[in-house]
């Protein structure tokens, strides 16, 4: 299986062999936190469109990857989501509400932190900062994945990784703490 030119095995190893995963999302809910219907809607938007059977393989693969959040030892997972991620309906209102409820459930895991950057936060210029930082078992295995319109780019040079760690902390500092983020998600779910 190939993910944007990168083997699914490589993407799986980034997640499964890591000591930590940190995500900044400004467009979609990160894959490890997506519901099946949300993932189906995201994959259904690809151009060129995936044939139905292939789309279902991608959804199944995404759901299996999520097992990393519940295995022992659990990988620490930190996600910072811009409010736009929560408000963008990739499908209908029902799917959006179910996705918000799933985010609330996942955020209760001891190894999962979900933080929200609201629209009204002052001084936030990180809206184009989406990436996944996968911390390897040793720092020399750390890798950052940035999605682009032309596929995924992987960064692993120490200077690039330092920039990405710094950027993550800057964006995280603009976000609500995990408890206030859960309240924010809950309130938004009620509005849907």
Checking if the pLDDT of 8 tops 70, the result is: no
C-alpha distances out from residue 143 to 85, 153, 159, 191, Å: 23, 10, 12, 37
| Burial tier of 71 (Cβ tally within 10 Å: 0-12, 13-18, 19+) | exposed
- Phi-psi bin for 38: left (phi > 0), alpha (psi -120 to 50), beta? alpha
pLDDT for 11 equals 52
Query: Which of helix, strand or coil describes residue 149?
Result: coil
Checking if the pLDDT of 4 tops 90, the result is: no
Confidence of residue 136 (pLDDT cuts 50, 70, 90): confident
pTM of the model as a whole:
0.89
Query: Helix H segments across 45-110?
Result: 52-65, 83-87, 93-107
Place of tokens 């519901």: 35
What are the pLDDT digits (tens) for 56-113? Answer: 999 999 999 999 899 888 889 999 999 999 999 999 999 999 999 999 999 999 999 9
- Other CB atoms within a 10 A radius of the CB of residue 177 amount to 12
pLDDT for 6 equals 40
- For residue 44, whether the previous peptide bond is cis, meaning omega lies within 30 degrees of 0, is no
pLDDT for 147 equals 81
C-alpha distances out from residue 16 to 47, 65, 80, 176, Å: 28, 8, 20, 28
What are the pLDDT digits (tens) for 13-71? Answer: 455 557 899 999 999 999 999 999 999 999 998 888 899 899 999 999 999 999 989 98
pLDDT for 73 equals 85
Query: Which of helix, strand or coil describes residue 168?
Result: helix
Higher pLDDT, 11 or 147: 147
pLDDT for 10 equals 46
């Amino acid at each position: 299986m190939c993910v944007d030119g990168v083997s699914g095995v490589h993407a799986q190893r980034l997640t499964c062999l890591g000591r930590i995963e940190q995500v900044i999302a400004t467009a979609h809910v990160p894959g490890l936190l997506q519901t099946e219907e949300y993932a189906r809607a995201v994959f259904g938007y690809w151009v060129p469109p995936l044939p139905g059977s292939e789309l279902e393989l991608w959804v199944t693969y995404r759901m299996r990857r999520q097992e990393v959040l519940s295995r022992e030892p659990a990988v620490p997972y930190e996600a910072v989501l811009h409010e736009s991620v929560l408000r963008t309906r990739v499908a209908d209102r029902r799917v959006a509400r179910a996705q918000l409820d799933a985010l609330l459930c996942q955020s209760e895991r001891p190894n999962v932190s979900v933080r929200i950057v609201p629209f009204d936060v002052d001084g936030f210029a990180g809206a184009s900062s989406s990436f996944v930082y996968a911390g390897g078992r040793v720092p020399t295995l750390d890798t950052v994945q940035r999605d682009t319109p032309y596929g995924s780019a992987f960064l692993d040079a120490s200077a690039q990784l330092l920039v990405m760690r710094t950027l993550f902390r800057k964006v995280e500092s603009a976000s609500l703490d995990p408890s206030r983020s859960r309240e924010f998600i809950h309130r938004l779910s009620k509005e849907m």
